[in-house]
Amino acid sequence: MKAADQAAALLDLVKVRALGQRIPVAVRINLNNRCHSRCRYCSFWSTPTDELSTAEWRAVMADLARAGTRRVSLSGGEPTLRRDLEEIVTAAVDHGIAPELNSTGYLFDQRRDALRPLELVKLSLDGSPAVHDKIRDRPGAFDELLGGIRVLRELGVKLSFAFTMTRENLHEIPFALDFAREHDTFVAFQPVMATEHSAEDVRRDLFPTPSDYRRAIDLLTRAKLREPARLRNSLGGLRHIASWPDIHGLACWAGEAFAMIEANGDVVPCDRIGYDSPVPNVRTHGTLRALAELPKHDCRGCGFCGSVELNMLLAGRVDIVPSIARVITRR
């Protein structure tokens, strides 16, 4: 984001916090549920849905700009499976919205024109090659990641990594930090959670023991103190998620400062929790009305790095600023 856009986004967050205005400054969009991987902690790939068309996503971007959205995070599923990804990214840019992408690195050679305008690409990283491939349940997944990094470097697109901490890869944290150092970037660490889009048996199969998890957080805290630029997480953010799986004590601004749009057009404060009543949809309500009629949400706590850090910023934690600035500053 340009400096002027960053300042405008910060002012909007002040309006949300101090004046009680609802401004979806940041929106995550799940473009599809389809995925070529079968990650052990995820269920997106097993939940097909009626995806919005290219024209519908163009209209959504126009409406989001009117609503005050400054940044969209395009996700899935695997968003590069959308053949119209370039058109969706272009629609965001044309309306003054900074786009970023969550991906595995799949099809990056074929999607170069879609990748060029991106502000940031967050690549999933689960560990060293054998561990990464096992968790993704896809032989060659790590090679795919390396190929994606190569394409992004050739294009000059900023990249980072996202590491979901599970029973199977806590021992891979040093590798992830070394890998980020090798590629001159940073990693967002977040605990595996049981959410609406998690695999059914995620608690049984992938939750680490509390003692192993706490040792991992201690390791990350020491790494943050030693080399702060290597971790996306702030120290405050690491302390907050240390109480996993019972994460609490931080007010959530989902639906006020940020929101999510599902592949079928459902608009929700957060897509990681369930809702008792039908939720608004851009097809039936239009994007602006859907954002205005978001359902109430009840969440006992979140461990997802981006949400934690933004909520901490809205709580007045200025120590979070360097962490967020690392993400939104231009390459």
Q: What is the pTM of this model?
A: 0.94
Q: What is the CA radius of gyration of the chain?
A: 18
| Number of Cα atoms under 13 Å in the Cβ half of residue 325 | 9
- Alpha carbon 318 to its chain centroid, in Å, reads 21
Give me the tens of pLDDT residue by residue for the chain, a chain 331 residues long: 777 777 787 788 878 888 888 999 999 999 999 999 998 888 887 788 999 999 999 999 999 999 999 999 999 999 999 999 999 999 999 999 999 999 999 999 999 999 999 999 999 999 999 999 999 999 999 999 999 999 999 999 999 999 999 999 999 999 999 999 999 999 999 999 887 677 678 888 899 999 999 999 999 999 999 999 999 999 999 999 999 999 988 999 999 999 999 999 999 999 888 888 899 999 999 999 999 999 987 777 889 999 999 999 999 888 888 888 888 886 6
The class that CATH gives domain 3-328 is alpha beta
- Domain residue spans in the chain? 3-328
SS (H, E, C) the chain: CCHHHHHHHHHHHHHHHHHCCCCCCEEEEECCCCCCCCCCCECHHHCCCCCCCHHHHHHHHHHHHHHCCCEEEEECCCHHHCCCHHHHHHHHHHCCCEEEEEECCCCCCCCHHHHCCCCEEEEECCCCHHHHHHHHCCCCHHHHHHHHHHHHHHHCCCEEEEEEECCCCHHHHHHHHHHHHHCCCCEEEEECCCCCCECCCHHHHHCCCHHHHHHHHHHHHHHHHHCHHHECCCHHHHHHHCCCCCCCCCCCCECCCEEEECCCCEEECCCCCCCCCCCCEHHHHCHHHHHHCCCCCCCCCCCCHHHHHHHHHHCCCHHHHHHHHHHHCCC
